[in-house]
Every structure is written in structure tokens, then in C-alpha cells.
Amino acid sequence: MNYPFVMLVFVTITSAVMVVSHRNIIHAAVFLGLSFVGVAGMYLLLNAPFLAGAQVLIYVGAITVLILFSLMLTSQRIMREPRNALAYRLLSGAVAGVLFLMLVWTAWQPVWAVKPEVALETQNQVYLSQLADGLLGAYLLPFEIASVLLLVALVGAIVLAKEEREA
Amino acid sequence: MVAYALLIPLFPLVGFLVILLAGIVRKWVTGDIRIADRLASGVGILTVGLSFILSWLVLFEVLGKGPGSAYHHAYEWLDVGFLTLWFGFYIDAMTAMMLVVVTTVALMVQIFSTGYMAGDLRFPRFYSYLCLFTMAMLILVLANNLVQLFIAWELMGLASYLLIGFWFEKPSAMRAAKKAFMVTRVGDVGLFFGMALLLGLTNTLNFVGLVVAHPDGTAPGLLEQGWLSNMGVCAGPAILTTTSPIFGVAVAGSVLLGVAALLIFCGSIGKSAQFPLHVWLPDAMEGPTPVSALIHAATMVAAGVYLVARMYPVFDFGGVLSVAGTDFRPLSFVALIGTITALMAALIALTQSDIKRILAYSTISQLGFMMAGLGCGGVVSGGGQAAAAGAAEAGHAATEAAAHAATGAAGHAAEAVGQAATALAHGAAGGEHLLHLGFTAGMFHLMTHAFFKGLLFLGSGSVIHGTGTQDVWEMGGLRRFMPKTLGTYFCGYIALAGVPFVAAGFYSKDLILDAAWEFNPVIFWVLVFTAGLTAFYMTRQMMLVFGGEWSGGPAVVQHGHTDPQSDPHGSLHAEDYSHIGHEQEEQPGPEAVPVDARPAPVVAAHDPVAGDDAAHDHAAHSHDDHGHGHHGQPHESPPSMLIPLYVLAALAIVSGLVGIPGWLPVPGAFAIYPYLHYTRPGMSTEFHPHFNPMVFIPGFVAPLVGIALGYVAYRGRKFNWAQAERLTPLQRTVYALSYNKLYFDEFYWNYVFIRPLFVVTNLLKLADIYVVDAIVRAVAMVGLVLSQVGGMFDRFIIDGVVNGVGRSARAGGNGLRYLQSGQIQNYILMAFAGVVLLVWAVLQSNAVK
Amino acid sequence: MPLPGLSSFLVVAAGLFCVGVYGVLTRRNAVAILMGIELMLNAANLNLIAFARFTDPALMAGQVFSIFVITVAAAEAAVGLAIVICVYRNIQNINVDDINLLRW
């Protein structure tokens, strides 16, 4: 019984549920950030400290803020959004539920090639230097493409969000 | 030469075909009509002339071979298993005589027609029909079996129809043609059944072996071709020795054979215009006069007589039918019918006013004579007359013997004694006795009658041509205008009347009276009386036509004034079409004088002609036979018409010479008998004619009395029954009966044939409307219903399917379009649902264990 | 304390993912939908890291991959929100139910 794990799970899942169900959208955005944090904690448990940090930085720090800003910019007088029809929600829940069940079933298959010695080890971390070597070594191409992607996204977002101005 | 007998009918056949083509040519050659006409008549005369010559040569050849010779040639035609049909010819003396008669009269008629029918629109067709008829008659006469005879018989009926109805624009002519055909058809049915019955009895229809054989009853085989000798009209093995396989009776003497004979006689009744089927012959006078001369005087009507003569053994051996206790031999029946016919027709002829009708009824009467003559032949079983005859014969033979003995001619005396003994034996035996004369008499009279009746008809044609009318009351005094016609007509007249010794008719009629005396005294006296009537009405005709003064013709007599408009053209010229349609009578014959209802009206100087007969004759004058548009005097006929008259006149006189009674001490007397007699096997045919005053005196006196009475009565052409106020009702009734032909036509029309047929027709019409049409409508209804069903099927099911596809597509589209809600979340939902399904499918597919 | 097995992490990731699915399907606000998408991405990331940890830590493919996922998620969030702002400018409203011009 790994208490940290359980707590993190609780936080994450609960926050996620609040994200999708809370009527107040701002609250939902905050809960989103909280769930990001929970996920970051789980990264730590999984020997990925850098990623945990990156997660917090980017997700919580940038994306959540971005979301909040855009919520501000697109604010409506009523921040509470109306519910969908019950039937629709049930249907969506059903779809999601079924999907969950199937994934769970899959997850519990004993086919995953888990190396037993690794499963028990807790000390093996992936160091930042290793990551850096990898990023600029074996995975250089994706790295570069990702940077291009960021550039494109940047440009695109600016263009899209730009106000029409009389030239 | 006789081997070429096949050519005899072949020539007219060729003529028929050639003239048909000539008629076609004439249509295209619009130029000279006369050339086509001359071509047609030339071909006709040529072909019939060739047949004529050939016939005379055949006659001489047959006669030259002696009595009992015959030429036989048969070709196999059809083999139907149990029966083989042949066609071919059998020429004995009787056939040769018929050939000569037919071709002679036919040739004379053809020559006559060149003058008579000149200018007719359908001249070539007339000649083609004449050739057709001649061919048919010749085939009939030459036939060697009943089937061929029957075929030719029917063909003659056709030719008669065509010729009677030659001027087919005249409704009366067409009616007459139909009537002739129909009435003879009634007889032909009987003939056909008789043939069938005969076939069933004897299994053959060929003459050789059936009705023509050696006098002892044997016969040569059918395949024997060429000259046969010792043949005669005698029953052959087919009758004598056969037991019918079908009926199981011996043929000879069986009642069935008698029935067959009577049925065959039905055909003769029809064709030869005997009572009761005589009604067509007077109406047949609607045809052109040459037709009347050829067909209805000389040849076609004689075919019935020829049939009886040919089938004589069948008649003679036919069994006796018992009717009301009396035994009727078939020949007795023939004689009875003949006598009735003779008397009845003579009575009608007394009052007729149309020259052709007088001759028509005269023909019927003379045919009756012929039938009576034939009927007075054959074998009778014993009986007084025969015994008396035998005794008389014996008596005369004894007288002869005495005379011979007186002159010391012992041989002759012995012979005569022998004859007497034989005759006594015959008479005394009371057994079967052969009446020798009947057969010969009938055929002899046929020959002479053909000549003088043909002559009379052609002569009447000449008169009609000259005067433009057919009514004797519009004639008169023609002896001054048409002497040549008168001369020839006179020859025919004395022949028909039977003026003693001078012309042929006397001899033949006398022979018939001889035969009748031997058979039955009643028949004898009736025939004597009829002979007297004959002389009377012929004298009446002569006086009215040639005697007295010219009445002025139809223009004067009909209209009371000279009417230049009355242009009694005969044969149709183009301008004649306006006259057509004058007659519209529906019923035959007049509604004539119902004596108690109204008195005989007086119409000009005519015999009373109330009713249709007047219109009939009146209009008939307008377009019946030939006539020029005269408005004045009658004139003599051209030579083309006179020459045949001369020839026939000569023959009318001369043809009797072959039958001069044997008791006249003239060389060659009764020369006809050896060639033309009936033989019964086992009976002697030796005939010793003797003079019988009981027979001769009446036969001598009756015509003279008739002539005298007629001369006295009609000398002034004024003896007109109707005008005499002193007519008693009885006399008026008798007159009306005679004038209106004994009302036979009305009787047949109303009670026997026509009206009942109309009833049947109406019934069938009702049946057709209510039954047949109902069925047809029902069928149509079924079809309609089926089509409705099909339509509904098509509309609802087929179209339903087709439309349904469209509709379901649209409905599907209408339904599915709501999927595109425009809302992304819906799309995503659906996508995820799909994902779920995919994952599930993958999990199911054993990819993950 | 023993670390939970791979399956647990996978289950957690699955749960997070399905919650994110539910959010995408259900929320009316466009930004909320993007939030749901972020959740899903996170779940994917968690999966990747878990696998990297349990199967072969020496090979850092999983973590490297995760970095890229984060990168892409960020870019996508940015662009997406820019689009949302555009939409807001046009219809003053970011209720996705009202963005349905392409309906039937």
C-alpha cells in the first residue's frame, strides 16, 4: 500500500472529475492545474524527476495560465454553464465507461514485458544529463521538428488571435 | 378413233381456258371489241366442232362394230384400300348416241349464239361457259364409273348456275340461278346417298361388272381395255352374285338395292325436273335462250334420264318396297313420277303466255314421258297385262303362221308357230316377264326430243330476236315476217306434237305408248291424254305466235301506243343499265288470282296477269332476251341464227327413222333396238313387234285431235279465257291453277323450304346474340379482369418496389441527415463510440491474451 | 513501501483518459473541451512514463517521448485557444452548441 501513490491518485482523479463536471469554468481550470500537479507527483514516483518538473512548469505554469487567460478573454456574463441533457451525459458516460473498462481489462493482462528486477527497484533514476544526451543525440530529429512545430504554433496563434485592424 | 375419245371432252376444256384468256385480253385491248368476240366464238365453235366431228366418227365406229360392242378404257385414279376409283370412258351405242346428241346441239347453240348474243358485254364469257358446260356433259356421258359421273353432274350444275345467271344484274336471273342450283342440290343429296349405299352393297361403282355386262350376266374384268364385245345394259356380277359384306344380304333383289335405286332416282328427279323438283326449270328461262336450248332442253336435263338408263339394272334388280300393301318396284316408281310430271306440266303449259315458259313446261312434260317410258321397262312378275300381251303375241304369231302356211312358206310358218308357243309360254307361265320396250323407248325419245326441243328453243330465240318480246300475246302474224323461222319451227312443232309418221316425235312417243301399254293401262291412257294436251298447247303457241295478225309488238300491246322509248334490248348493252332494278319482287310467282277474292282483271289483251308475273314479264321484256330496238315490224334473223335451225330441223325429222316401229314393212325398221335395249340374264330379248291397234289408234288420234282443237280455239288469236265473261268460278279456279303453275313455288316457299329456314335462321340469330355473344363478352370480361389485376400488380407491387427504393433512400437520407448536427461533440462522441468498438474488436480477436 | 505495479499506473492513466473523454464529450464551453483534451494528453504521458519505468529504464524512449508530447500539447493548446478567441470575437460566445453552421 503505497500511500503516496494512493493519495496522488486520489488527487489526480478527483481533480480531473472536477475539471469535467464543475459548473464554474474558472474553478474547473484551477482543478485542472491541480490534476497536473498530481500527475507530476506520479512522475516522481516513476523515476522521472525532470519530467515532473517540466510538467509543473509547462502544464501548470503555462498552459493553465493560458487557459485562464483565454477564459478571461472569452468571458461571458454567466460563468456557469448549463448542463447537457441527462440522456446525453449518460451516453457519454457510458462510452467513457466502456472505454475505461476495456482499457482496465487490457491493463491487467499479464502480457506486459515487465522486467521483474526493474519492477522492484526504486532507486534507478533517469538523470537529466541522460535526457539531454538523448535529446540532442539519438532523438535529435524529433527535437528539431518539435522546435519547428513550436515556432509554427506560435506564429499561428499570433495570427489567429490578432485583431483585425484597418490597414 | 375411239381411243381418242378422251379428246372429246378435252377440246371444250381447252376452249374454255382459251376463251377465258381471250376475255382477259379483251379487257386490255380496248380497241375493237368485235375482234375479241369473234375470237371467242371462233375458238368455241372450233373446239366444240372438233368434238362434234369426233363424236360422229365414234358413233360410226361403234355402230360399225355391231351391236354389243363397247370401248372401254380406264385409268386408275385413287386407291383407298377397300376401293379403287377409276376414271375413264366406256363407249357403247348409248354413249355414242349421247355424244352425238350433245355435241350436235352444243355446236348448233354455239353457232346460233354468234348472232343472238352479238354485242353483249360479256360475249366471250358466254362462250367460255358454254364450253365448260359441254365439257362437263361429255365427261358425264363418257364416264365409266359413278364417281366420275357425279363429278361431271355437279360440274354441270355449276355451269347451269353460271349460264342461267349470265345476266347477273337482273335479280330475277340470279334468283333463278340460285333456285336451279339449290333445287337440283336437293336431288343430288339423294344421288350421293344412293351412290354410297350402292357402294356399300356391291363394293364397286364402276359400270363394267355392275350395270354393263355380257347378256348372261358375266362381265369382263375392269382392267380390260379396248374393244369389248357382246356387252349390253345388263346386270353384272357385282349385282347378281354379290352378297354385301356390310349388310349381309344378297344384293340382287334386295330391298336395299331398291332403296339405292330410288335414291339415285332422286338425283334424276332434281336434274330432270320431275315432280316435285321441277320448279327450277321454268325460272331457268331467265337465262339467254341459247342456254335454254342447250341445257334445259337437250342435254343437262337429259342427264337424269341417262343416269336412270345407265343404272337400269340397279333399278330392275332392286327389291320391291311395300307401300300400303302395294308392291312398288323402283321402275314402277319411276314410271309413276314420270307420268305425273308429264300430265302436270302439260296442264300448266296450256295457259302460259311466255313463249319460253310454254317450251319449258313442255320440256318437263316430255322428260316425264321419257321417265315414264323408262319406267315401263324391266321385269314384271306375271300378271294380266303380260299374259294378255303374251296371248296377243301368240295370236298374232298364229295369224302369221296361217298366212305363211297359206302362201306355202312352210319354214316361215314353223317359225311363227314356234314363236307363238314361246309367247304363250311366257304369258301363261305368269312368271317374270321382261318388258322389252321401256328402256329403248325412253332413250329414243331422249334423242329425238333433244333435237326438236333444241330446235324449238332456238326458234323461239329467233322469234324473240325478231320481235323484241317474249309474250305471245304481243306477237302474232309472224308467218309473214319470219318465214324461215316458221319453217323450222314448224318442223319442231310437228315433231313435238307427234304428228303421225312425219316427224321423229311420233315414233318415239309411240314407242313409249307401246311400252306403257305393256305395263299399265292407266299410265297408257294418261300418257295418251297428255300427248293430246301437248299437241293442243303447241298448236296454241303456233297460232298465237305465227298465226293471226301482228299485234304491234310490245310497244303497242303494253302501252297502248307506239312507244319509241320501249327499247326492249336483251343482252346488256351499256345503255341498258338504266333499266336495271325494275324488278323488286321478293316472292316467286304471282300472288295470282285468288279466284274468289277478285275477278281476273283484264290487262290489255293479255291473259290475266295480276301480280308479279306481269311485272316479271313486263320488265323481262325490257331486258330479258335479245331484241333490237324496234319500233315497228319484226324481222327475220340473220343466217348465223338460221343455219342451226335448218340443221336441227333436218335432224328432228330424220332422227326418228331409226325407231320406226318394227311392224312396218320398211327395211331398217326399229334399227335402234339391237343397239339400245335392256337385257336380263336368262331372258330372251328377242322382240317381235306387232301391230296393236289398241295402242296405235290412240297414239295416232290424240295428237290430231289436239291440233284440231287448238287450231279452232286460237285461230283468231282471241280465245282469252279471262275476257270471256261466261267464265264460271270453277273454270276460273282451274285456269288460275294452271296459270300459276299449280302454286308449287308458293308452297315450297311458304311451307317447305324457305320460311322454315328463316325460322331456323332467326333462332340461330337469337342463339348467336344471347349465347355466343355472351360467351364472347364473358371472355372479354375475363381478359379485362385479368388485365386489371395485372395493372394493379404493376402499380402496387412493381412500382411499389421501384418507388419504394427511392422513397426508402429519401427516408434514409432524411433520417440520417440529422446525424450531421454541426456540433463537434456529437461527432466526437460517435468517433469514440467507434473507437470503443474497434478496441473491443481487437480484444476479441485474440490479439491480446 | 512497494511501488504499485505497472497495471496500477495503467489503470490510473486509463481513468484519467476516460475522464478526459467524458469532459470532451460533455462540456459546452470550448475551453473546457480543451481542458479535457489536456487531461487525455496527460493520461497518455503517464502511460508512457510508466512503461518506460517498468520495461526498460535504460532506454529513455518513454521519457523523451513524453517531452515531445508535452511540447505538442502546449503548442496545440496555444493554437486552440487562439481559435477559441477568434470564435469568441465572431459570436461573442464560446458555447460549442452554437458553433454549428455546418449542420444539415
Render pLDDT for B519-549 as a digit per residue (tens, 0 to 9): 888 999 999 999 999 999 999 888 888 887 7
Alpha carbons B619 and B622: distance in angstroms, whole number:
5
Q: Is residue A54 part of a domain?
A: yes
Residues A72, A139 within the same domain: no
- Yes or no, beta carbons of A150 and C84 under 8 Å apart: no
Alpha carbons B337 and B274: distance in angstroms, whole number:
7
Is-contact B41 B190, C-beta < 8 A?
no
Q: Give the model's pLDDT for residue B627.
A: 44
Is-contact B144 B206, C-beta < 8 A?
yes
Residues A9, A89 within the same domain: yes
- Yes or no, beta carbons of A67 and C55 under 8 Å apart: no
Chain A hits for C3, CB-CB cut-off 8 Å, are: 2, 5, 45, 119-120, 122
| pLDDT band (50, 70, 90) for residue B393 | low
Q: Could you read off the pLDDT of B70-115 as tens digits, one per residue?
A: 888 888 888 887 777 888 888 888 999 999 999 999 999 999 999 8
Q: Which chains touch C (3 or more CB pairs under 8 A)?
A: A, B
Domain count, chain A: 2
Is-contact B77 B86, C-beta < 8 A?
yes
Of B198, B249, B313, B256, nearest in space to B681 by CA: B313
Percent of chain A residues topping a pLDDT of 90: 54
Helix (H, G, I), strand (E, B) or coil at B264: helix
CATH code of the domain made up of C6-91: 1.10.287.3510
Alpha carbons A102 and B739: distance in angstroms, whole number:
131
- Residue A65: domain span: 1-103
| pLDDT band (50, 70, 90) for residue B37 | confident
Grid coordinates of B807 = 422513397
Q: What is the overall mean pLDDT for chain B? A: 78
In the block, residue with C-alpha cell 336483251:
B570
Q: What angle do CA B478, B481, B486 make, to 5 degrees?
A: 60
Q: Is residue A109 part of a domain?
A: no
> Is residue B588 packed enough to be buried (19+ CB in 10 Å), middle (13-18) or exposed (0-12)?
buried
Q: Give A104 to chain B, closest Cα distance, Å.
A: 12
What residues contact B284, with CB distance under 8 A and at least 6 apart?
B160, B164, B176, B177, B180, B292, B295, B296, B360
In the block, residue with C-alpha cell 334399227:
B671
User: Most C CBs within 10 Å: which of B816, B817, B820, B825, as the mutation test of the C interface?
Assistant: B825
Q: Could you read off the pLDDT of B167-210 as tens digits, one per residue?
A: 989 899 999 999 999 899 999 999 999 999 988 888 888 888 88
ipTM: 0.91
| B71: β partners | B91, B227
B residues 804..833 contacting C (CB < 8 A): 817-825, 828-829, 832
Residues A38, A3 within the same domain: yes
Grid coordinates of B485 = 323461222
- Yes or no, beta carbons of B840 and A92 under 8 Å apart: no
| pLDDT band (50, 70, 90) for residue B401 | low
Alpha-carbon radius of gyration of chain B: 38
Phi-psi region of B846 (alpha: psi -120 to 50; beta: other; left: phi over 0): left
Q: Could you read off the pLDDT of B581-624 as tens digits, one per residue?
A: 333 333 344 433 333 322 333 333 333 333 333 333 433 333 34
Tell me which DSSP letter residue B75 carries: E
Is-contact C85 A73, C-beta < 8 A?
yes
What is the end-to-end Cα distance of chain C in Å, rounded?
58
Q: Could you read off the pLDDT of B132-160 as tens digits, one per residue?
A: 999 999 999 999 889 999 999 999 999 99
Residues A58, A97 within the same domain: yes
Q: Which of B479-493, B516-530, C55-69 has the lowest mean pLDDT?
A: C55-69
User: Most A CBs within 10 Å: which of C9, C10, C22, as the mutation test of the A interface?
Assistant: C22
Q: Give the model's pLDDT for residue B781.
A: 93
Q: Give the model's pLDDT for residue B405.
A: 52
Q: Is residue A128 part of a domain?
A: yes
Helices (H), B230-376: 237-240, 255-271, 280-283, 289-293, 300-310, 312-317, 330-349, 355-375
3-state helix, strand, coil in chain B (%, to 5): 65, 5, 25
Q: Considering the entire predicted model, what is its pTM?
A: 0.64
| pLDDT of B381 strictly over 90 | no
Chain B hits for A111, CB-CB cut-off 8 Å, are: 848-849
Q: What angle do CA B16, B19, B23 make, to 5 degrees?
A: 135
| pLDDT band (50, 70, 90) for residue C80 | very high
| pLDDT band (50, 70, 90) for residue B246 | confident
| pLDDT of B725 strictly over 60 | no
Is-contact B397 B378, C-beta < 8 A?
no
- Yes or no, beta carbons of A112 and C6 under 8 Å apart: yes
Q: Give C5 to chain A, closest Cα distance, Å.
A: 7
Q: Give the model's pLDDT for residue C93.
A: 83
Q: Which chains touch B (3 or more CB pairs under 8 A)?
A: A, C
pLDDT under 70 in chain A at which residues?
Answer: 1, 77-81, 113-126, 166-167
Q: Give A166 to chain C, closest Cα distance, Å.
A: 16
Of C46, C20, C44, C42, nearest in space to C33 by CA: C20
Q: Give the model's pLDDT for residue A39.
A: 96
Q: Give the model's pLDDT for residue B201.
A: 86
Indicate the pairing of strand B84-91 with strand B232-234: unpaired
Q: Give the model's pLDDT for residue B717.
A: 65
Alpha carbons B766 and B745: distance in angstroms, whole number:
28
Percent of chain C residues topping a pLDDT of 90: 55
User: Most A CBs within 10 Å: which of B836, B838, B848, as the mutation test of the A interface?
Assistant: B836
Domain locations along chain C: 6-91
Percent of chain B residues topping a pLDDT of 70: 80
Phi-psi region of B498 (alpha: psi -120 to 50; beta: other; left: phi over 0): left
Q: Which chains touch A (3 or more CB pairs under 8 A)?
A: B, C
Residues A19, A93 within the same domain: yes
Q: Give the model's pLDDT for residue C25.
A: 92
Residues A95, A143 within the same domain: no
Q: Give the model's pLDDT for residue B576.
A: 37
| pLDDT of B124 strictly over 60 | yes
Q: Is residue A110 part of a domain?
A: no
Alpha carbons B417 and B414: distance in angstroms, whole number:
5
- Yes or no, beta carbons of B848 and A111 under 8 Å apart: yes
